Structure 1
């Protein structure tokens, strides 16, 4: 790779990005809400509670912050890939 020396060291010494800082804060808030609910709140309720507290994020971002760090991206809890939004469902005969 061709990267200037200045850019390499600037990137190396830079702190976490704004998005990474927001994710860390969001994860802390999600953990607090989850503890308040005795572990019963899932993504929809967490999303509603965060929105009520003034934090506006997508449901998918909140679900990603709820997932364990070693969970693969794009997989649901049962391991099946999510349905494709571009592929229509098959029509059922009447």
Structure 2
């Protein structure tokens, strides 16, 4: 606020008295704060602003407040995430959004390529898994029972019918 009042005087020729009255502060407050040195809190805040700006620039503008906060804490700063977010908002620092990778193939966007080889991939029967060949004779009995109950099974590899015996 002191800087604003001083700037009005130097740039626009408006007296300190008029500027103080317009901003609602006393002239005594202005003259007191005009020459005072910054407090420890103000100095710390200024250093924090510089650290946030530096971390943001080092990341190439990709880090948001949570990640910058983590990096500042690792450097020894005692600060909250919300303070970092507030500083970034004041400085106008916005992290880039993560762009999700989009798949290259999308069904239904264009017609399928013509089949110049003219292969026929139609199935003769539904895909049924052939029973495993267990080493245990008790399991093989149950498999034979399953084949006998269903009557017919199809092998995946040859697409030929296997009849129960």
What is the TM-score when the length of structure 1 is the normalising length?
0.58
Alignment of 1:1-94 (within 5 A): 10-68=32-90
Q: C-alpha separation between the residues in 2 aligned to 1:38 and 1:9?
A: 42
Q: C-alpha separation between the residues in 1 aligned to 2:62 and 2:55?
A: 10
Q: Deviations over 1:2-51 (max 9, x none)?
A: x9x7x875444212221111111111111111111100110100110000
Contact 1:34 1:41 in 2 (8 A): yes
Gaps of 5+ in 2: 1-25, 93-165
Larger RCO (CA within 8 A; separation ≥ 6): 1
Q: C-alpha separation between the residues in 1 aligned to 2:71 and 2:35?
A: 36
Q: C-alpha separation between the residues in 2 aligned to 1:45 and 1:69?
A: 17
Go from structure 1 to structure 2 and tell me whether the alpha carbon gap of 1:39 and 1:69 turns closer, same or farther (over 3 Å shift): closer
Q: C-alpha separation between the residues in 2 aligned to 1:46 and 1:69?
A: 14
- Pair member with larger Rg: 2
